[in-house]
Structure 1
Amino acid sequence: MKKLRSSFVGVDSGDVVLFTDFEDGGEMWTGRGQRERRRRIKFSEPYRKIPTVQLSPSLWDMDAATVLRADIVAEAVTENGFDMVFRTWGDTRVARIRISWTAIGEILDDGDWDLY
């Protein structure tokens, strides 16, 4: 459990279209080639410490003729942002995906200052 010592808690969020491979015959739609997409997401302002980040699909456009397989994860989370990562494998065909994210954590207070 993450315990926040500050009364200054920040919640930042967004909704990102990660790719639309069906439009141009991209690798996620054809089922061949690179089976991972990632995008660096920057928070609207830095957190005091590394926040908790939650991801969820908000648009899931998949080919119904194949098995649906996906892994969605936040990697390389820092006080300033994170990498949004979507992976699939096998014969899964993904036309497009949009991912919602929420970050919750301690934010800086006007009384916080760093001497170094």
Structure 2
Amino acid sequence: MRKFQSHTLGIEQGSIVLFSDYQHDGVMWTGKGAREFRHVVSFDNPFSTPPMVQVGVSMFDFDRDTNQRADISAELITREGFAIVFRTWGDTRVARIRADWIAFGDVPNEDDWDVD
């Protein structure tokens, strides 16, 4: 369990189409084997400490003639942002993916004192 140190909790969320590889014969659509796509997200305002981040697929478009394999996660989480990582493998053909994310954690408060 994560306990927040501040009484000020910040929440930021977003949604992004990670790729539309069927439009230009990209590697997620035409490739085989292990493939990975990364997208860096920058927060509008930094958190006080690295926040908790949840990522999920909100839209997917797979080729119906191949197995549907997908792994999505948040990595490299910092106060300023994180990376959405989408992976697939085998014969899977992914036309496009949209990811939604939410981050929540401590944020600076105007009543906080910075004492050295």
Q: TM-score of the superposition, structure 1-length normalised?
A: 0.93
Is 1:47 paired with 2:47? Answer: yes
Q: Distance in 2 between matches of 1:14 and 1:105?
A: 15
Distance (Å, rounded) in 2 between the aligned partners of 1:113 and 1:40 = 31
Q: CA deviation at 1:34?
A: 7.0
Give the counterpart letter for 1:101 in structure 2: W
| Gap runs ≥5 in structure 1 | none
Change (3 A) 1:21 1:33: farther
1:80 aligned partner: 80
Q: Which residue of 1 aligns with 2:61?
A: 61
Q: Is the 8 A contact 2:46 2:107 kept in 1?
A: yes
Q: Deviations over 1:40-95 (max 9, x none)?
A: 10011000111000000011111111111111011100000001100000000000
Q: Is the 8 A contact 2:49 2:106 kept in 1?
A: yes
Instruction: Output the CA distance in 2 between the equivalents of 1:113 and 1:64.
Output: 57
CA RMSD of superposed structures (Å): 1.5
Distance change >3 Å, CA 21–CA 66, structure 1 → 2? same
- Are 1:19 and 2:7 counterparts? no
In 2, the alpha carbon distance for the partners of 1:80 and 1:113 equals 21
Aligned counterparts of 1:65 and 1:115: Cα–Cα separation in 2: 61
Equivalent-residue separation in structure 1 for 2:71 and 2:112 (angstroms): 38
Is contact 2:32-2:89 (8 Å) kept? Answer: no
Q: CA deviation at 1:109?
A: 0.6
Aligned residues: 116
1:62–1:93 CA contact under 8 A, matched in 2: yes
What's the CA shift for 1:32? Answer: 3.6
TM-score calculated relative to the size of structure 2? 0.93
Equivalent residue number for residue 7 of structure 2: 7
